[in-house]
Amino acid sequence: MRIPAKRFVLLLFMFSSISAQKREETYSFTMKEVLAFKNRIKELEQKDSLNTILIQKLENRIKMFKKELSESRTKNVRLLDENSPVSNKNENQPQIHVGIELIKAVMCQEVDGDIPMGINSTFQSGEKQIYCFSRLNNHYNSSSVVYHSWYYGAQKKAKVRIRIGNGKNQTGISKRIIPAAEAG
C-alpha cells in the first residue's frame, strides 16, 4: 500500500505544479479595470467612426476639386487653341531657325504646371496677382534669357528676367502682385 500512496502523492504534486503554471499565465482584473477598458474601447470606436466620416468628406471634396480642375483645364485648353500662335513669318519663306521664337503669350490668373488657367486680357480689380505665360522655341544650343516687361498704362512697372532652356516648347512664366494703388 505504500507504493500506491507514493504514486498518489507524486501525481498530486505534479497536478498541483501544472495547475500552478496555468495560474501564472492567467490574469485577473477588478471590476473597475474592466469598466475602464470598456469605456476606452467605446471612446476609440467613436473616434474611429468620426475619422471615417472625416475621411469620406475629404474624399468627396477631392473628387469635387478634381472635377473643377478638369473642367478648368479643358476650358483653358480651348482658350489656348482659340488664341492663335504669334506669327510674323511669311508662310512661303523657307524656315530658318535662329534665335528665340515666340509661340504664344497670354495673361492669366494662375499657372498649373505648364498650363495657364483663367486666360483673359482684362482682370477684376480684386485680383491680387496676374501671371504672364509665354511659350517659346529656343533654337540656340544653350539656355537663353528672355524678359517679361510689366506696364501699368504707359508706365513700366517691372522687368522680369527669365532663363529658358534650349529646345522647343520652353515656357517662361512671371507673376506680378498688384498693389492696391494699381487695382482697377
Residue 19 lies in a domain: no
In this structure, the answer to whether residues 126 and 64 fall within a common structural domain is: no
Residue among 94, 96, 117, 120 nearest 107 (CA): 120
Residue finishing a domain among 82, 110, 127: 82
- Strand 144-152 versus strand 155-164 pairing type: antiparallel
Per-residue pLDDT band at 17 (split at 50, 70, 90): low
The mean pLDDT of 97-123, rounded to a whole number, is 85
Residue 41 lies in a domain: yes
Residue 39 lies in a domain: yes
**pLDDT for 134:** 93
pLDDT surpassing 90 at residue 162: yes
**pLDDT for 82:** 67
In this structure, the answer to whether residues 176 and 108 fall within a common structural domain is: yes
The mean pLDDT of 6-16, rounded to a whole number, is 73
How many domains does the chain contain in total?
2
Residue 2 lies in a domain: no
The mean pLDDT of 149-162, rounded to a whole number, is 88
Print burial letters for 78-89: b (CB count within 10 Å at least 16), e (below 16). Answer: ebbeeeeeeeee
Lowest-pLDDT range, 92-101, 111-120, 131-140? 92-101
pTM over 0.85: no
The mean pLDDT of 74-98, rounded to a whole number, is 64
The mean pLDDT of 58-62, rounded to a whole number, is 87
Mean pLDDT for the chain? 80
Higher pLDDT: 30 or 87? It is 30
User: What sign results for the dihedral spanned by CA atoms 104, 110, 111, 117?
Assistant: negative
In this structure, the answer to whether residues 35 and 65 fall within a common structural domain is: yes
Per-residue pLDDT band at 19 (split at 50, 70, 90): low
CB 128 within 8 A of CB 179: no
**pLDDT for 4:** 72
In this structure, the answer to whether residues 107 and 168 fall within a common structural domain is: yes
The mean pLDDT of 96-108, rounded to a whole number, is 83
* Domain limits for position 135: 100-182
**pLDDT for 34:** 85
**pLDDT for 84:** 59
Higher pLDDT: 83 or 182? It is 182
Residue 15 lies in a domain: no
**pLDDT for 3:** 62
Residue 88 lies in a domain: no
Residue 64 lies in a domain: yes
Residue 90 lies in a domain: no
In this structure, the answer to whether residues 115 and 175 fall within a common structural domain is: yes
In this structure, the answer to whether residues 124 and 76 fall within a common structural domain is: no
Higher pLDDT: 120 or 22? It is 120
